[in-house]
Amino acid sequence: MKYISTRGDRTERRFCEILLEGLAPDGGLYLPLAYPKVDAATLARWRGLRYAELAFEILSLYIDDIPAADLKALVDKTYTAEVFGSEAIVPVRRLGDSGLMIEALSNGPTLAFKDMAMQLLGNLFEYELARRGEQLNILGATSGDTGSAAEYAMRGKKGVRVFMLSPHGRMSPFQQAQMFSLQDANIHNLAVEGVFDDAQDIVKAVSNDLAFKRQYKIGTVNSINWARLLAQVVYYFAGYFQATKDNSEQVSFCVPSGNFGNVCAGHVARMMGLPVKHLVVATNENDVLDEFFRTGSYRVRGSAETHETSSPSMDISKASNFERFVCDLLGRDGARVRTLFGETLAREGVFTLNAEERAHVADFGFQSGKSTHADRLSTIRSTWARFATLVDPHTADGVKVAAEHVEAGVPMIVLETALPTKFAATIREALGREPERPAVLAGLEALPKRFTVVPAQVDVVKAFVAEHCQD
């Protein structure tokens, strides 16, 4: 399997080459030359596999430069009941007779779906760096959950340092404490004076500085890293097998989305042949993606227009992974992608598909909807009252939008984003009580914190990385 850039660089690279990189040299994102196709016989063979076995089967289609025995050992080490709380790893439960199901993705170490991919990524990084005898400085940006998932996956890993950027003061107290309380020497938290998009822009700018990137061996764990997105493809197949009795059935997925990484993994699964009818994108008040699927226009917002909401992990107005879908939508026309995401967005802050391009969007099964603060409070209350199920604010956005798109005879699976305890203030507002918290995390917010506040300036972040990359 070889990989190329969304922006037209046709240089073919293997998996382990792009594993330790972020963006492609031309500023694009990596995609496989073609998606491997899964036929009915393969789906039948995969049904009933343990999660780790399923993950190995899917990853093997994309990774041919790690020996099969080694890859299997890495996957088996990652996906265990001890780490993820159950043998199913991602159990699916029904919400009564609503037609909705929730796929539990948040039972990992940091109580968020990002653990599903990040735990594997940590093991892949350690393996490949040891094989090369090299080190890696990971530069990432987080709106809340990516950071803690990455840091918990990488803490103590040999040859790896993490420099994680987050929007100063814009995460929940729990999310901040999860990250900033880590005292591991290889973990560095930088609180950026701005919004998530400012932090993400810095990561992209550093990744596009090829000389700096190579000198300081910069990699990324954000979902612009293909390996992380690939790991997420697995739970779409796992959810499908739990929600259906045989492979003649279709399902739909509703995915709370800000950066488009999670739902892009669903797009990949659908392109592979998983019987997915619709991929429903649920946004909060930062509705860039909903606006695109309604109008065909992708209009990024600046910091001043990016709302601070009660589902903060989705407070994003520049969806990095969206470029991968648009590349597929445009038939892998790298020049057109480069024009839209490079020149046009830089010049105008918006691009609009032409009529022919927009007509093809429906072919990929996407739908969308928007949820507000009032909506998520109402959904948290009703989901608790009707189904005795407590959901976090982001999952509530998904449940609200999913309910608007349910079709008779087609299971609708909502991808859980995080456990409610990470967003206690909103749960208190909705229900007047505290969400349950695992005993191991009692008093988390009171722990000593270690972080550095920095301005939203690329050069300042570069200087910090250069100073600390030999720690």
Specify whether 114 is catalytic.
Answer: yes
Measured CA distances, 11 to 18, 33, 103 (Å)? 12, 11, 38
Average of per-residue pLDDT across 405-411: 96
Using CA atoms, how far apart are residues 446 and 442, in angstroms rounded to an integer? Answer: 9
pTM of the model: 0.92
* Averaged pLDDT score across all residues of the chain: 94
Structure confidence at residue 257 as a pLDDT band (50, 70, 90): very high
pLDDT of 157 reads 86
Question: Per the domain annotation, does 281 fall within a domain?
Answer: yes
User: What is the tally of structural domains in the chain?
Assistant: 1
Q: For residue 81, how many C-alpha atoms fall within 13 Å in the half-sphere facing its CB?
A: 4
Using CA atoms, how far apart are residues 162 and 138, in angstroms rounded to an integer? Answer: 5
- Residue of 223, 191, 219 lying closest to 207 (CA atoms): 219
The CATH number covering residue 317 comes to 3.40.50.1100
Question: Per the domain annotation, does 459 fall within a domain?
Answer: no
Question: Per the domain annotation, does 138 fall within a domain?
Answer: no
pLDDT of 251 reads 98
Task: For the chain, give the percent of residues with pLDDT over 90.
Answer: 84
Q: Which tokens belong to 363? A: 């072919």
Q: Tokens 């500085």 identify what position? A: 209
pLDDT of 174 reads 87
Q: Each residue of 84-138: pLDDT tens digit?
A: 999 999 999 999 999 999 999 999 999 999 999 999 999 999 999 999 999 999 9
Helices (H), 191-225: 196-208, 210-215
pLDDT of 57 reads 98
Question: Per the domain annotation, does 316 fall within a domain?
Answer: yes
Question: Per the domain annotation, does 355 fall within a domain?
Answer: yes
- Residue of 201, 209, 205, 203 lying closest to 225 (CA atoms): 203
pLDDT of 471 > 60? The answer is no
Average of per-residue pLDDT across 177-206: 92
Average of per-residue pLDDT across 244-257: 96
pLDDT of 469 reads 83
Structure confidence at residue 53 as a pLDDT band (50, 70, 90): very high
DSSP sequence for 411-426: -EEEEP-B-GGGGHHH
- Starting from the edge strand earliest in sequence, which strands make up the sheet with 187-193, in order? 218-219, 136-141, 160-167, 187-193, 452-455
Using CA atoms, how far apart are residues 122 and 23, in angstroms rounded to an integer? Answer: 19
157 or 413: which carries more pLDDT confidence?
413
Q: Each residue of 277-331: pLDDT tens digit?
A: 999 999 999 999 999 999 999 999 988 899 999 999 899 999 989 999 999 999 9
The number of residues in the chain equals: 471
- Which residue in the list 2, 72, 114, 462 is annotated as catalytic? 114
Question: Per the domain annotation, does 266 fall within a domain?
Answer: yes
pLDDT of 359 > 70? The answer is yes
Average of per-residue pLDDT across 336-348: 94
Question: Per the domain annotation, does 98 fall within a domain?
Answer: yes
Provide the domain limits for residue 326. 92-110+227-437
- Centroid of chain to Cα 298: 20
Using CA atoms, how far apart are residues 175 and 148, in angstroms rounded to an integer? Answer: 7
Q: Each residue of 377-399: pLDDT tens digit?
A: 999 999 999 999 999 999 999 99
Average of per-residue pLDDT across 418-424: 93
Could you tell me if 429 and 268 are in contact, meaning their C-beta atoms sit under 8 angstroms apart?
no
DSSP sequence for 255-292: EE-SSSHHHHHHHHHHHHT--EEEEEEEE-S--HHHHH
437 or 232: which carries more pLDDT confidence?
232
pLDDT of 339 > 60? The answer is yes
Question: Per the domain annotation, does 174 fall within a domain?
Answer: no
Using CA atoms, how far apart are residues 253 and 365, in angstroms rounded to an integer? Answer: 10
pLDDT of 380 reads 98
pLDDT of 221 reads 81
pLDDT of 186 > 70? The answer is yes
